[in-house]
Amino acid sequence: MTAGIVNPPVWHASTILFDDLAALDAARSHLDQGLFYGRRGTPTQWALEEALTALEPGAAGTKLYPSGVAAIAAALLTVVRAGDHVLMVDTAYEPSRAFADRFLKPLGIATTFYPPTADVTAFLQPSTRAILIESPGSLSFEVQDVPAIVAVARAHNIATVMDNTWATPLLFSPIAHGVDFSVQALTKYTGGHSDLMMGSVTTTAKYWGRLKTKSYLLGYCVGPDDAYLALRGLRTLGLRLERQGASALAVAEWLQGHPAVARVLHPALPGDPGHALWQRDFTGASGLFAVVLKRGSRPHTAALIDHLAHFGIGFSWGGYESLILPVELDGIRTATSSDSAKLFAGTQIVRLSIGLEDPADLIADLAAGLDRYEAQF
């Protein structure tokens, strides 16, 4: 198809012309086998979908979406309808929670938030149709027992949806672990350069036809330029993840020994509560983790963050540049255990996304920031 060109070219198209009525009718009857209308995709988008599907053994296909939260929405809407019930992990990405509370609920679809390390059996209802997993959890990085959740779901004919943005399929394959829908915010590690918005859902043969139909009816599509950028990022994803994961672990280990730090939330650290599950199921760690500070309030945290030289202050993560962000858990967790609530209540948490900079430079930068933080007490 590319006539020897290394990278698939960018195909821009809305209208597709046909030689005659017979050709149009033939295309209409074989919508998965060629160009028909721009919203159905072009070879640029198809190349990305095929590449993402190939990363997940046992997957039947992938659809693309304009953001990660759009991908979560599409996966859930493929399997739930009015009167159904969703189980969503309490540590899920905050926009996923907002989608459940502010979009699904008015449609008559109820959501229960469950603790990340709980046995989901206790939360099942007769109308439960989907369980959303996110492991490690957003912001506080708890690791879930995915095979155990999948076993419960399959026994009750419930679909499983996993937000796998932290690990990508290179470090954890949801489909290979029995999950039905593997979701990524391609904005993060796949894009890798902080310049595109996109999400993806990869699924099995059981749900592939339903996902395609639902996505078409909802009007989801992505632009070919963004698909091209995601394809470009995918080619270096393995190298970037390896470097960023190693650098993040070095920074995390250094932070563990700092007197201002109460705890480092990183599942690859041996003392982390989720370390055993991470070691069993994952093949590596990415560059995102968090730090719990021993004391202080948000104005004190500003002294740490505001004058860092190598960390930008901003949302998202997974790009080549390091980022830092204060984390507020109060008010966005509703199902955490009393021990978890006690652990994080009133604490200052800072999330770090480690990029491609020299980890020694990042450690020196954080050391100076923590000195400024400590000087306030």
Per the CB < 8 A criterion, the answer to whether 89 and 137 are in contact is yes
Give me the torsion for CA of 64, 69, 213, 52, rounded to 10°. Answer: 30
In terms of DSSP H, where are the helices of 56-190?
68-79, 94-99, 146-155, 168-171
Q: Of the candidates 315, 273, 295, 319, which has an alpha carbon nearest to the alpha carbon of residue 370?
A: 295
Which of these is catalytic: 39, 105, 206, 280? 39
Does the active-site annotation cover 39?
Answer: yes
Amino acid, single-letter form, for residue 362: L
Which of these is catalytic: 93, 114, 220, 373? 93
Does the active-site annotation cover 207?
Answer: no
Q: Report d(CA 356, CA 367) in Å as an integer.
A: 18
Which of these is catalytic: 40, 63, 188, 263? 188
Which of these is catalytic: 84, 90, 163, 281? 163
- Distant-in-sequence, close-in-space partners of 270: CB < 8 Å, separation ≥ 6: none
Structure-token pair, residue 108: 């008559």
CA angle 261, 372, 344 (to 5 degrees): 30
Q: Which residues are catalytic, by number?
A: 39, 93, 163, 188
